[in-house]
Amino acid sequence: TEEAEGILDPKESEKLNFNEKCTRSPLLTQLWATAILGSLSGTEDVRMDERTVSPFLQLSDDRRTLTFSSKKSKACADGPERFDHWPNALADTSFQAGLHAWTVNVQNSCAYKVGVALGQLPRKGSGSDSRLGCNAFSWVFSRYGQEFRFSHDGQHEPLALLRCPAQLGVLLDLQAQELLFYEPASGTVLHIHHASFPGPLFPVFAVADQTISIVH
């Protein structure tokens, strides 16, 4: 029989290596995102940790809605967990493995941030350390008027959206190390970020105009 040239024996299969750049191609990432979104069976019951809520925010009784106030509340007792300057709040649950999704109603706000943060995120002062997206501890999708962007560690990536989403979906796949933002109504992927997250992640929120609410 005629032998084919250039074909490896089974014992030489370790010589076959995948190009890692191919696995991170936009097309494959989009296909992954579409498959993941199509398989979602539900969303997490995410609620705010009232100990972290900024005094510039009012928290609803069910701990799912944040309302911005330009006046600092005197009713909030200060503590080590509370953000004292930026209008931020952390969820009361963190994720360190698996696939997690939650949805935020953002239709009433023109200034908000939604994403994830490490528990080490500083809470005090007006510096970048506690400002979402401006430090190494937080990854957020944000809106300011008609401008949208993704921010992490002071790097801001403008996002071209065709319309303002009424709801913002967040999907965190800790096995794939992917953070995905999407529009639930249409399934449109708004942004995907790949990172080696160094620890458990909390859903994080900020609002500087009107109200945002976690949908459940």
Give percent helix, percent strand, percent coil of the chain, each to the nearest 5. 10, 35, 50
pLDDT means over runs of 10, the chain (216 residues): 48 42 59 70 89 98 97 86 98 96 98 98 97 98 98 98 96 94 92 95 99 96
Q: Which two tokens stand for residue 130?
A: 């506690």
- Residue-number span of the structural domain to which 127 is assigned: 25-215
pLDDT at residue number 8: 46
Q: Which residues of 102-132 are buried (b: 16+ CB within 10 A; e: fewer)?
A: bbbbbeebebbbbbbbbeebebeeeeeebbb
pLDDT at residue number 26: 66
pLDDT at residue number 74: 80
- Total number of domains in the chain: 1
pLDDT at residue number 37: 73
Classify residue 9: in a domain, yes or no: no
Classify residue 13: in a domain, yes or no: no
Classify residue 4: in a domain, yes or no: no
Classify residue 6: in a domain, yes or no: no
Distance, CA of 208 to chain centre: 18
Classify residue 97: in a domain, yes or no: yes
For residue 166, give the CATH number of its domain: 2.60.120.920
For the chain, strand residue ranges (E) read 57-59, 65-68, 88-90, 99-105, 111-118, 138-144, 147-152, 155-159, 167-173, 178-183, 188-194, 201-207, 211-215
Classify residue 146: in a domain, yes or no: yes
Classify residue 128: in a domain, yes or no: yes
Q: Can you tell me the distance from the alpha carbon of 195 to that of 19, in angstroms, rounded to the nearest whole number? A: 18
N-to-C CA span, the chain: 66
Q: Can you tell me the distance from the alpha carbon of 57 to that of 39, in angstroms, rounded to the nearest whole number? A: 35
Using a cut of 0.75, tell me whether the model's pTM lies above it: yes
Classify residue 14: in a domain, yes or no: no
The SS3 call for residue 32 is helix
